[in-house]
Amino acid sequence: MKTFATYNIKGGVGKTATAVNLSYLAAHQGYRVLLWDLDPQGAASFLFRIRPRVKGGGKALIRGKRPMDDAIKATDFDNLDLLPADFTYRNLDLVLDAAKKPSRRLGSLLAPLSAEYDVIFLDCPPGISLLSESVLQATDLLLVPLIPTTLSVRTLDQLTEFLSSFDGSRPEILAFFSMIDRRKRLHREIAEQLPEERDDVAAVAIPALSLIERMAVERTPVTAFAPRSAAARRYAELWQEARERSKLPAPPAADTW
Amino acid sequence: MQSVLRHFVVNRDDEAEPGEFLSLPGSAFAISEAVRSVSLRRLWLDTFDWRLYRSGLTLEQISRRGTTDLVLTGRDGAILAADHGGSGPLKWPGQLEVLPLGPLRDHLGPVVGVRALLPVARAVSSLRENRVLNSDEKTIARITVDRMSVTYPAAGTVPPRVTVTALRGYQPQAQRLADQLAAAPGIADGSASGLEAALAVVGRRPGDYSSKINVQLTPRMPASAAMATVLTALLDTLEANVNGTVRDIDTEFLHDLRIAVRRTRSALKLAGDALPDGVAGRFRPEFKWLGDLTTPTRDLDVYLLGFSDMAASLVAATAEELEPFHDHLRWSRAAEQRLLVRGLRSARFARLSSQWRQALTAAATARTRPSVARLAASRIARAHRRVLRDGSAINATSPPESLHELRKRCKELRYLLELFGSLYDPGEQWRAVRELKTLQDCLGEFQDTQVQHEELRAFAEQMIAERTAPAATLLAMGEIAAGLILRQRQARSEFADRFRDFASPASQGRIRTLIGIGAA
């Protein structure tokens, strides 16, 4: 089992869109995928038409009082399950703080799911918190969407520095540009320059397209409702790169359909 | 992820869409148009004696869109192991070795054993899947409609089969949907198994062959009719195994055929007088001919089946040195198999089976005395007495022939207990034959090792005559010969204890109780 997380200190950079589309692509290839919508806003849950509610709230899950199994819901897509968001997730830091080894807690909750899933995606809320620290500890490959600004390099450096302070396991970083507007020269320049300079930045960039915004109307990943679109193709390239970097083995064979 | 919730059968003979025949007025759920459809060619595999089915397993080869998968499922339909056609389409019947190494073969190995897998049914399935949506337009379940046409073992059309699969996290809603469907007109609960459904429309059912004597006798039945019933069942078994023996699908066809012949011969010898006059005497030489016809191939099969164990037991020699012997066995078997096939295709065999069936049909209506219960009790008691008499006479200095004779007496007793087994309580029968089985195992080991030892000498002489035996091979065969003698001595040393157990008053009492003579 490999764990991926979409994460950025900033909000509104395309974390959920990435998590939703990459989870769908992985499931479509035959991997058994679980997406955990950790953001109390519940955007990923909304996109899959699943009500953002977990019985007992985040507290029961984190404390292990309610088995993860019970809270998991199937999406409309084969091989893709979702652990929904819950509004109580906004207090997860407090719950984690009260737990033993809070930064390892998420990892130990996910470990038993390895028999059932090949891939886990964690869609994280923005910010630096105990929750994000716990997510980073549990993750194999961290997908970091960057808005093409001069500050984006600084954000990435900060994150790398933060990770280097970790004891033991720390995730590999795969940053990529998101919401690129090809008409803007600055966007183009930054998006071309940075991948050449840094190994941890992917060459593929996700464009700012209205089709991606349409996901909220369709309530379906763009990779599912417009699989041949430019947006879907970029996500597929990003997933390919994430697969290779994480050394994810080939998926099991497809089922009947 | 999803789990199968319930199966239904649609008892409506039309081509309606599921949205029509599954329409649920007033329901909170909406059924979508078919979202996907697929056509599958399905082939179910099992051994001739249904070993997978009897173990609650189903092995299905599914071909679609140029791909072929082999899927093994358990009783609840859960997939236990699968092979996704990496090695290309497979030819059936075939031994397990045609499958690539992996979990599927590992799973099947202990169940299938030495038997081949062969097609038991073929069908073409047209599957259409509809989604069931709740008020959020979220899918909570899937409904699959399977329209299946059976093409083997005969042609037939299965009524549409509907499967409701709950999506994870939505079981309660899916259950409500299934309950609504169950109450809809023209829909009835159905079976989970595609194989059972496919065979049912062509008038068969899985598990309809067994090498066991599967008849039900009643104590007051006239002995002649009872004998005809048992012998007809044995003839059915014999005939069922001819094709597989001739095609050489696996070794167990011949094995089952031989057991049917041996049981028939024992029945004719020990209770043939219950049949109309002259019948037993007329057919006994013919069944002896048939038994003798099958012996050489079976003996070589036994050698070949045990060959890898034999090679592994070598201490001084290596398995490679034994290889020319292996080749010799294979060639000899191929030659014997040709003779066997010729015999089974001969006019003499065809005459034997047709005339024997006619004779049994006539015997079935003969009103003879005594009843089968009395016949069985007297013959079993006599056979039991003979085993006790001959066994008691054996001491440390008795020649091997006396043990061979005793083995025959034991077999006769065992066959009688099996032929008339349906008259008795199964539990009591099992207890009664427990010590007999142990004694038979000991005598079998004693005699088989001796026969194999003698055969080994004969093989060695043949190989020398044919100049196919290098010195190293003969030495390796010598080592095997020594191993056989050691096993034979071990069996001989265990005989006295085994016979004492069999002849104990408690064991004797169990046989008497079984046949209703009363404890000694």
Quote the ipTM score.
0.87
Percent of chain B predicted with pLDDT > 70: 95
Inter-chain touch B1–A116, beta carbons under 8 Å: yes
Residue B481 has pLDDT above 80, yes or no: yes
pLDDT at B20: 63
Question: Which chain B residues are within 8 Å of A71, Cβ to Cβ?
Answer: 169
Task: Identify which of A49, A72, A116 has the shortest CB distance to residue B138.
Answer: A49
Query: Tens digits of per-residue pLDDT, B95-125?
Result: 999 888 899 999 999 999 999 999 999 999 9
Considering only alpha carbons, which residue of chain B is nearest residue A68? B169
> Which string of b and e fits B65-88 if b means at least 16 CB within 10 Å?
eeebbbbbbeeeeeeebbbebeee
Alpha helices in B251-322 (DSSP H): 251-271, 279-305, 307-312
**Peptide bond preceding B370: is omega within 30 degrees of 0, i.e. cis?**
yes
| Chain B residues touching residue A66 (CB < 8 angstroms) | none
Instruction: Compare CB distances from A256 to B38, B136, B138 and report the shortest one's residue.
Output: B38
| Phi-psi map region of B177: left, alpha, beta (phi>0 left; psi -120 to 50 alpha) | alpha
Average pLDDT of B468-488? 94
Our CA-based measurement puts residue B39 at a distance from the nearest CA of chain A, in whole angstroms, of: 9
CB contact under 8 A, A72 and B84: no
Q: For chain B, say whether A72 makes contact (Cβ under 8 Å).
A: yes
CA distance B353 to B350: 5
pTM above 0.90, yes or no: no
pLDDT of residue B88: 67
The answer, yes or no, to whether residue B519 has pLDDT greater than 50, is no
Cα of B129 to nearest chain A Cα, Å: 9
Q: For residues A162-178, give the mean pLDDT.
A: 88
Q: Quick one: pLDDT at residue B15?
A: 60
H or E element that contains B341: helix B323-344
Instruction: Enumerate the residues of chain B whose CB falls inside 8 A of the CB of residue A49.
Output: 136-138
Helix-then-strand count for chain B, H and E: 17, 9
Torsional class of B516: left (φ above 0), alpha (ψ -120 to 50), beta (otherwise): left
How confident is the model over B494-514, as a mean pLDDT?
93
